[in-house]
Amino acid sequence: MGLPSSSSSPLPLRKSALPPRNMLTPKRAPASRQERQVGQKLLLVFRRNLSGYLFLLPALLVFAFFVWYPIVLGFSISFQSIDMINPPAWVGWANYHHVLTDPLFAVAWRNTVAFTFYALLFGYVIPIVLALLINEMRHGKGFFRLAFYLPVMLPPIVTVFLWRWIYNPDSGLLNALLSLVHLPGGLWLETPGSALPALMVIATWSNAGSTMLIYLAALQGVSATLYEASEIDGASIWRRLWHVTLPAIRPIMLLMLVLQVIGTMQVFTEPFTITGGGPQHATVSVLLLIYNYAFQDADFGSASALGVILFLALAVFALIYMRMTNRLMQGD
């Protein structure tokens, strides 16, 4: 007997369940109408301001080349050994270690902080007092504004020679005036104890005029109705000053306080041109020490490292100034 033969036609193979080809490729979701409107608005704003951007581009390039690039380069140089003779070498934190262990580092910061303290103690109050006095004058306001602003217009070298003559121990004006009232003269720039305050007087005399004009402009913005109301209430001039004038210009006073701290901590002209950092390093400032590192010792890495430290210290006050400015603008 023969075995039953199998079917001549094979069983059909079962196809694997594959998704359609159009389901394998992800479909790109069409942009919503809101997204298209946002894109069109941005493009419209760019086209409208294109001419403004083109006018602003040269200023941005100049600012980037002369401000941003030196800042970035200073950070980079602070980690290198550069003496303009040998090729630059990466030294890591060695420059910062050299600066922080230098005995003049603490001396320079102590002198700078002391100069800032003296400047705030006298140089911050004097412009406010001058502005208040001139604002209360009935006649001669223009003359006194010009008289107090005149030192600002003098070139620094003229100011240096003028005050060198005033402080001269032999033929100076200050000792001559003291001798008229039978008071002993002094070695104002040659004594460590008096050299730094003497430089503070020069800096205050040179810069108080511009600050005084800012306070005068702020005083002009005080509403006259406040003064009239205080006079009706019988307030004296001191009460009007304390309760009306000073609160009205308080935001400007705070801004000028921060700006003066930033400016006085960068004192350089007076120590460099008048005392050279002496006597006995009594007037060495941070900027003068940076100058000595760079141009006397040819140690540009240490100079940049100290510059970075000063930059970070001043950045704190700059942030405070920006925050106060934003609050003042929001208040307006």
pLDDT, tens digit, 9 for 90 and up, residues 25-69: 555 545 567 777 777 788 887 788 888 888 889 999 999 999 899
In a domain, 18, yes or no: no
pLDDT at residue number 306 = 95
Which helix (H) or strand (E) is 79 found in, with range? Answer: none
Among 26, 48, 77, residue at a domain's last position: 77
Q: How far apart are CA 286 and CA 271, in angstroms?
A: 10
Same domain, 168 and 260: yes
Helix (H/G/I), strand (E/B), else coil: 89: strand
Mean pLDDT of the chain: 85
Same domain, 66 and 159: no
Helix (H/G/I), strand (E/B), else coil: 136: helix
Cα torsion through 210, 211, 213, 217, rounded to 10: 140
pLDDT at residue number 154 = 92
Same domain, 127 and 247: yes
Residue 202, pLDDT > 90, answer yes
Task: Please tell me the pTM assigned to this model.
Answer: 0.79
Same domain, 67 and 210: no
Same domain, 121 and 167: yes
- 248, 217, 250, 253: which is closest to 125 by C-alpha? 253
| Each residue's pLDDT tens digit, 80-114 | 998 778 888 899 999 999 999 999 999 999 999 99
Same domain, 113 and 220: yes
Given the DSSP bridges, would you call strands 89-90 and 80-81 parallel, antiparallel or unpaired?
antiparallel
Q: How far apart are CA 281 and CA 84, in angstroms?
A: 27
Taking the mean position of all CA atoms in its chain, how far away is CA 144? 30
Same domain, 299 and 170: yes
- Looking up residue 280, the CATH number of its domain turns out to be 1.10.3720.10
In a domain, 23, yes or no: no
φ/ψ of 81, rounded to 5, equals -105, 110
Same domain, 108 and 191: yes
How many structural domains comprise the chain? Answer: 2
Domain that holds residue 59: 36-77
Q: What residues does 90 pair with on adjacent strands?
A: 80
CB 189 within 8 A of CB 168: no
Same domain, 55 and 155: no
Same domain, 119 and 154: yes
Which helix (H) or strand (E) is 7 found in, with range? Answer: none
